[in-house]
Amino acid sequence: MTHKSNPTITEGNCHEIAIKTFNGDSIFDILSSISSHLSLNDALSSIVENIQISLNGEICLVFLYNSDSNMLEVPEVLKEEDSFFCSLKKKASLDIGQGIAGMVAQSKKPLLVKDAQSEGNLCLIADRIAGVPSRSLVASPMIGERGFTGVIEVLNPQEKESFEESDLELLNILSKHAAIAIENAMFHEKTLYRESSERERLKLGIDIAMALLRNFLPESSVYERGGIKITAFNISASEIGGDIYDILEPEGDKVSALIGDVSGKGVSAALYMVKALGDFRWLASRTDSTEVMLKRLNGLLSNAPRGMFLTALHMLIDVHTGELQLSSAGHPPFLHFTSDEVKVVEIPSGLPLGTFPSPYPPSNISLGIGEKMLFFTDGVFDALNAKGLRLGFDGFVKYVRDHRYDEDIIDGIFSYINEFSMGAVKADDLTLLELRRLAV
């Protein structure tokens, strides 16, 4: 006969339940084990194993409620072959009201079946899923904080003919905790899936933006014409950095070069960089004035996303005379290497591009034979060490002055910055343009 019950723990049966669970573990150990998993598969495995052992049953089945289909489903639980419990190889499903589990799902009440054979076809579904004939079984609904989660069934006690009321009471306790463990695991996996999907979408966006950016950067980092040699060096702090540079050759004997730093990182910054480089190239062949160039570029970048802007320095270099015309849009000073010193050169500057209308007054400087200039972004001197201390502009200039006669000073700068910031996350990109005037 099938017995429906609303089990309660009383002073009389509490000791019996506790003793039943003390097969090496207390009920608190069992509940702790059930609740300790964030993976749904691990949570289900733990639930099946612990409940099967606690009730000393032959088989434990977990039916999860699918609210979309309004059906119960037996999930596939993966475990080693020598597991204590049944490893289900195939999913099964049943309607609400179908079989013992379906009846429990419909009534939301636990059920004790002392003699399964007397129940006719009701127990055949559990027999078919478990792969063994049932003699006696207990079933309990899993109701957690978010509602009905499913049903747990345990078949065939190992050391007695049938399950008893105390078994049903113990299962009812464990099923409530199992429901919460399943809810937590499902929530965790959904969160991970959303985060994983967002990461995948972000990675795809980054890949596309990087491909666009690579196509816009100069094919070669070294440019040489007449008595002028320009070499670009860049190390990005992230997958997509904010530094840009470009070297163009308009008509005549002049070279047009740009170095800049876009605020922000990631896909938005990369797309903004692509636009800035594209607009710069379009303007480069249409003006021979650095002031006009930056004013027009500022206008084209004025519709930038909120908070995004570009600091930049533009220069026109005569490849025969070494004469430079320069304009700055909020960019850091640069260094001029003469025969006997390294000078910090700070020219009049306008506002960063993409902010507000601004003048960009031109400055004229002559580069002598054998001299060079070093242009850079703020990532060079904003480097942080493991203690969070900043290298600083003065620290960077001191290193350069101390090593001004080194033939490979650029490599030395990068090595010095890497050594300084060892153990710290790179805070910004590092970009340098070295301009040399050679003897022809």
User: What pLDDT does residue 240 have?
Assistant: 56
> For residues 4 and 109, which has the higher predicted lDDT (pLDDT)?
109
**392-432 tens-digit pLDDT:** 999 999 999 999 998 888 899 999 998 998 877 766 778 89
Torsion of Cα atoms, 349 then 243 then 371 then 251, to 10°: -80
Q: Return the structure tokens found at 235.
A: 């190390």
Among positive and negative, which fits the CA dihedral 299, 301, 304, 306? negative
User: What number of other Cβ atoms are within 10 A of residue 354's Cβ?
Assistant: 26
pLDDT mean over 336-362: 95
Contact 361, 327 (CB under 8 A): yes
Q: What is the 3-state secondary structure (H, E, C) of 341-371?
A: CEEEECCCEECCECCCCCCCCCEEEECCCCC
* pLDDT value at 237 more than 50: yes
SS3 255: strand
Residues in the chain: 440
* pLDDT value at 256 more than 50: yes
pLDDT mean over 41-62: 87
Give the residues across from 363 on adjacent strands: 326
Query: What's the CA gap between 313 and 426, in Å, rounded?
Result: 23
Per-residue confidence band for 21, with pLDDT thresholds at 50, 70 and 90: very low
**Judging by beta carbons within 10 Å of its beta carbon (0-12, 13-18, 19+), is residue 304 exposed, middle or buried?**
buried
* pLDDT value at 29 more than 70: no
Average pLDDT of the chain is 82
Closest by Cα among 145, 125, 159, 152 to 50: 152
The residue with tokens 């478990």 is 130
Per-residue confidence band for 255, with pLDDT thresholds at 50, 70 and 90: very high
Per-residue confidence band for 367, with pLDDT thresholds at 50, 70 and 90: very high
Query: What's the CA gap between 73 and 64, in Å, rounded?
Result: 5
* pLDDT value at 324 more than 90: yes
The set of residues, in sequence order, having a beta carbon less than 8 Å from that of 201 and lying 6+ positions away, is none
User: What pLDDT does residue 373 have?
Assistant: 97
Residue type, 2: T
User: What pLDDT does residue 341 have?
Assistant: 94
Q: How far is CA 301 from CA 271, 305, 309, 311, in A?
A: 12, 9, 8, 12
Query: What's the CA gap between 25 and 362, in Å, rounded?
Result: 82
Contact 334, 432 (CB under 8 A): no
**Judging by beta carbons within 10 Å of its beta carbon (0-12, 13-18, 19+), is residue 83 exposed, middle or buried?**
middle
User: What pLDDT does residue 91 have?
Assistant: 60
Note the pTM of the prediction, 2 decimals: 0.56
Give the residues across from 248 on adjacent strands: 256
Q: Return the structure tokens found at 217.
A: 């950067």
> For residues 210 and 234, which has the higher predicted lDDT (pLDDT)?
234
**131-189 tens-digit pLDDT:** 778 889 999 999 988 889 999 999 999 989 999 998 998 898 888 888 888 888 888 77
Q: Return the structure tokens found at 176.
A: 């409530």
User: What pLDDT does residue 150 have?
Assistant: 92
Query: Please, what is the Cα angle at 329 between 378 and 395, to 5 degrees?
Result: 25
User: What number of other Cβ atoms are within 10 A of residue 243's Cβ?
Assistant: 23
pLDDT mean over 287-314: 89
Q: Which value, in Å, is the radius of gyration of the alpha carbons in the chain?
A: 37
Domains identified in the chain and CATH numbers: 2-191 (3.30.450.40), 217-437 (3.60.40.10)
Query: What's the CA gap between 107 and 271, in Å, rounded?
Result: 58
The set of residues, in sequence order, having a beta carbon less than 8 Å from that of 93 and lying 6+ positions away, is 66, 69, 71, 72, 73, 74
User: What pLDDT does residue 121 have?
Assistant: 63
User: What pLDDT does residue 106 have?
Assistant: 93
The set of residues, in sequence order, having a beta carbon less than 8 Å from that of 282 and lying 6+ positions away, is none
The set of residues, in sequence order, having a beta carbon less than 8 Å from that of 91 and lying 6+ positions away, is 73, 74, 75, 76
93-107, 115-129, 207-221 — most confident range: 93-107
Per-residue confidence band for 19, with pLDDT thresholds at 50, 70 and 90: very low
**57-115 tens-digit pLDDT:** 988 888 999 888 898 888 765 444 433 334 344 467 788 988 888 899 999 999 999 98
